[in-house]
């Protein structure tokens, strides 16, 4: 028994039709994902990196002190209170950035104490798909006042 292979164009046409169908489905899927992104509360194509990093730099000292005060009143030392406070704020800054569509991160956090005054220093990194910046943040906290 000998089989003969029919080299017709039917198989090639079927394959080409399948490829075209897959490409159009992929195109529709990409369009759908882009449309879903339009509901984001912030447009990352603007100045959101600058605005978000400014918001964090402005509110970080006050938030750190308020959280540290709670731990200090519960019995921790001043230094431990501030360290716990800034660690918890680090996680909140990451989450805040995710919500805004900007990557925000506190880097190289140092907490030092000198004569009852605690100094917090950190580098704030902010980036979106269009820009990136780093900003030094440094402030002092005195929980005894």
Q: What's the angle, vertex CA 66, arms to CA 141 and CA 118, rounded to 5?
A: 15
**CA–CA separation, 113 and 125 (whole Å):** 24
pTM exceeding 0.75: no
Mean pLDDT (the chain, rounded): 81
Region 12-40: what's the mean pLDDT? 74
pLDDT on residue 46: 58
DSSP per-residue codes, 78-124: HHHHHHHHHHHHHHHHHHHHHHHTSEEEEEEEEEEEETTEEEEEEEE
Backbone phi, psi, residue 17, to 5°: -65, -40
Cα 82 to the center of its chain, rounded Å? 23
Average pLDDT over residues 10-19: 81
Residue 8: per-residue pLDDT: 64
Residues in the chain, how many? 145
Answer yes or no: is pLDDT of 7 > 70: no
Question: Where do the domains of the chain lie?
Answer: 10-39, 48-141
Helix axis angle, 48-73 to 78-100, nearest 10°: 150
pLDDT per residue as tens digits for the range 30-61: 766 665 555 455 454 557 788 888 888 898 99
Strand partners, 133: 126
28 or 3: which carries more pLDDT confidence?
28
């Amino acid at each position: 028994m000998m089989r003969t292979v029919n080299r017709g164009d039917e198989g090639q046409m079927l394959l080409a039709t399948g490829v075209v169908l897959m490409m159009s489905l992929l195109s529709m899927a990409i369009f759908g994902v882009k449309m879903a992104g339009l509901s984001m509360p912030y447009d990352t194509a603007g100045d959101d990196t600058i605005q978000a990093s400014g918001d964090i730099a402005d509110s970080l000292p006050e938030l750190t002190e308020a959280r540290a005060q709670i731990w200090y009143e519960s019995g921790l030392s001043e230094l431990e209170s501030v360290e716990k406070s800034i660690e918890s704020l680090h996680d909140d800054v990451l989450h805040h950035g995710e919500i805004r569509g900007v990557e925000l991160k506190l880097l190289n956090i140092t907490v030092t104490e000198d004569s009852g005054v605690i100094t917090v220093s950190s580098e704030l990194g902010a980036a979106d798909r269009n820009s990136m910046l780093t900003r030094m943040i440094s402030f002092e906290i005195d929980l005894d006042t």
